[in-house]
Chains A and B, each alone.
Chain A
């Protein structure tokens, strides 16, 4: 996949931080995990205490696109179950930032058990020829290897978005196939429609991607999000 290289090539100023991207989605009605941005290990612990454990701690900066690869792998810490672990993680992020002379924030977020759902992907892209478009597929290897995705010109309503969830090759995996969780398709469709509206209505958005959007029995939650600004011309 060329995705990794593409990320690195993206001018950092054109890409929103994960926190900003999630705030945008949350305001548009897409559920995101509880999160807060902090600037010190102490604050990180306070926030983790109030959100409740386990939590995820991540580096947050417009200059960092590949969070998990940044700082020799200290950019993302999953499943932290106590205050000490949160403090260690936040300190590691700060040290790596100091080494690189970077001003960064620390994102503290409620951890979500991905085993409880199916990872999907929802994206919106502005194209030259077709204007706004929207795509849906299963996450992980299904997207990367099989490219099992389906496209529409945006904007679309929830009925058409629901069709998309039925026509991917792996559609059965959303139906509780062999013990995988049954998913809330209406919530998926509603998220697809929301992303399609965002990319169609907000001219400053060039690309938007929720990857993964975890679909569970009771709803969806955007675990990671990327929003790219359009060139100003």
Chain B
């Protein structure tokens, strides 16, 4: 089933649209004001809404409706989905909760919705979701306010929880990271991770996919999907519950869902992170940079302490800092005073003048042993940030470069903005830079190695 009509609609109906500010049907109408396609509020007891004629039912709309936002309570949801199916709607977002996450009765209603969706080739998102946004097309199919400030870009978010979906959206806005689509799956009764990942992989606006996962019935298939697509996919797994309902053996009772995600991500080469911040940082790095050819990292730091903190993080994740070639070392020696550390990591002390700095960074990026460049530099008023240098270097060498810095908000916020405009991910702490680079390295290894697990013989 294609998800394009769901996520890239040209026309939207809001079912249960309302003039009552406390209602989801109002929030949904309010949020799609940024959408410049056709809008059809549906509610038999309301007249005009937000300047649009209000319809009694979806089948009265004399247009092909791509997306319907279902703002009705759960009991009437199956009927609404049925009407949408008959009206040849492309996709429905079901905001209502109280389905399979709640009671047996809810599970039955949900099953009804899924059966209807399949029958009519209708894509249902949810239930129990806050919806999605498509920032490039101005589609805010969510009932949460103020997401119109989320910058458009090429990082896609797929969250199992609608709440985390919005956490990531707002953090993207805070961190100036552009979002293509941010999708909350909710109960994922119909539209699931694998389908959405496959859709986003083919989406021209998306260069990097971020997953927030609480738990899925078929985690192995999810990992296989992540590995199989062209677009880098990274995972933030939350929750450490057991996966075996019952185990007779000691080891069986020790099998935890989180440990298996860790093992499985490592085996399939899918970068796995430990916070929303890391997830967003990794997404930013993948979306901005060319894919690395390998996993060997060169670190250039202006200060020893942060450099050690970064090296520690890199090594903990098993990332390699290779020795640089003799020629590169000679170039570094020529530029830097004798006191600094000219192996990898390279400690420059206060960075040299821009021309020398460019020569130095260029020599390192061009070194055969180096696949990824990470530069850290504490803020110093008199020292210019190497925005243009790194931009040119990535362009010339194809080696991805990540920048990290720390300093007063005024100066650094502005610098981060400039780096991002130049396509260089920039992070405001040593560790964040390190973790982004770790993900790039993990992904590069995945691209060059075969998985260490053979295809599942697990269908039971």
B247 to chain A, nearest CB (A): 6
For A127, A130, A152, the residue with the greatest tally of chain B CB atoms inside 10 Å of its CB is: A130
* Closest residue on chain B to residue A127 by CB atoms: B243
Assess the B244–A151 pair: CB atoms within 8 A.
Answer: no
Cβ of B102 < 8 Å from any Cβ of A? no
Residues of B within 8 A of A15 (CB): 248
A200 CB contact (under 8 Å) in B219, B251, B264, B457: B457
Residues of A within 8 A of B257 (CB): 129
Residues of A within 8 A of B100 (CB): none
- Cα of A155 to Cα of B267 in the assembled complex, Å: 11
B315 to chain A, nearest CB (A): 14
A44 to chain B, nearest CB (A): 28
Stretch at the interface among A1-9, A31-39, A82-90, A181-189: A1-9
Assess the B252–A207 pair: CB atoms within 8 A.
Answer: yes
A209 to chain B, nearest CB (A): 4
Assess the A203–B460 pair: CB atoms within 8 A.
Answer: yes
For B252, B255, B259, B267, the residue with the greatest tally of chain A CB atoms inside 10 Å of its CB is: B252
Are A129 and B243 CB-contacts (below 8 A) given A153-B267, A153-B453, A230-B460?
A: yes
A159 to chain B, nearest CB (A): 8
Assess the B458–A125 pair: CB atoms within 8 A.
Answer: no
Cβ of A211 < 8 Å from any Cβ of B? yes
- Cα of A133 to Cα of B453 in the assembled complex, Å: 10
For A14, A127, A206, the residue with the greatest tally of chain B CB atoms inside 10 Å of its CB is: A127
Interface string of B256-273 (1 = CB under 8 A from A): 010110111001000000
Interface string of A161-198 (1 = CB under 8 A from B): 00000000000000000000000000000000000000
Assess the B458–A151 pair: CB atoms within 8 A.
Answer: no
Cβ of B359 < 8 Å from any Cβ of A? no
What interface size band does chain B fall in?
A: 35 or more
- Cα of A108 to Cα of B70 in the assembled complex, Å: 69
A68 to chain B, nearest CB (A): 15
Are A129 and B248 CB-contacts (below 8 A) given A153-B260, A154-B453, A200-B457?
A: no
Assess the B249–A152 pair: CB atoms within 8 A.
Answer: no
Number of A residues near B (Cβ < 8 Å) is 48
Cβ of B45 < 8 Å from any Cβ of A? no
Cβ of B254 < 8 Å from any Cβ of A? yes
A152 CB contact (under 8 Å) in B218, B246, B267: B267
Assess the B246–A3 pair: CB atoms within 8 A.
Answer: no
Are A7 and B243 CB-contacts (below 8 A) given A125-B255, A149-B254, A153-B260?
A: no
Interface string of A49-87 (1 = CB under 8 A from B): 000000000000000000000000000000000000000
Cβ of A160 < 8 Å from any Cβ of B? yes
Cβ of B454 < 8 Å from any Cβ of A? yes
B458 CB contact (under 8 Å) in A3, A10, A130, A135: A130
* Closest residue on chain A to residue B263 by CB atoms: A151
Assess the B267–A6 pair: CB atoms within 8 A.
Answer: no
For A121, A125, A154, A211, the residue with the greatest tally of chain B CB atoms inside 10 Å of its CB is: A125
Assess the B254–A147 pair: CB atoms within 8 A.
Answer: yes
Residues of A within 8 A of B253 (CB): 1-3, 6
Residues of A within 8 A of B414 (CB): none
Cβ of A110 < 8 Å from any Cβ of B? no
**Pairs A–B under 8 Å by Cβ, sample size 12:** A121-B250, A123-B250, A127-B260, A129-B215, A129-B243, A129-B257, A131-B220, A131-B459, A149-B251, A152-B263, A153-B220, A207-B249
**Interface of A with B (CB < 8 Å)?**
1-3, 6-7, 9-10, 14-15, 121-123, 125-133, 135, 137, 143-144, 147, 149-157, 159-160, 200-201, 203, 206-209, 211, 226, 228, 230
With A135-B255, A228-B248 already in contact, 14 other A-B pairs whose C-beta atoms are closer than 8 Å: A3-B250, A15-B248, A127-B243, A129-B217, A129-B220, A130-B260, A131-B220, A133-B260, A135-B254, A149-B251, A153-B453, A155-B453, A207-B251, A209-B252
Return the 6 tightest CB-CB contacts between A and B, nearest first.
Answer: A131-B458, A123-B251, A209-B249, A10-B248, A129-B219, A3-B250
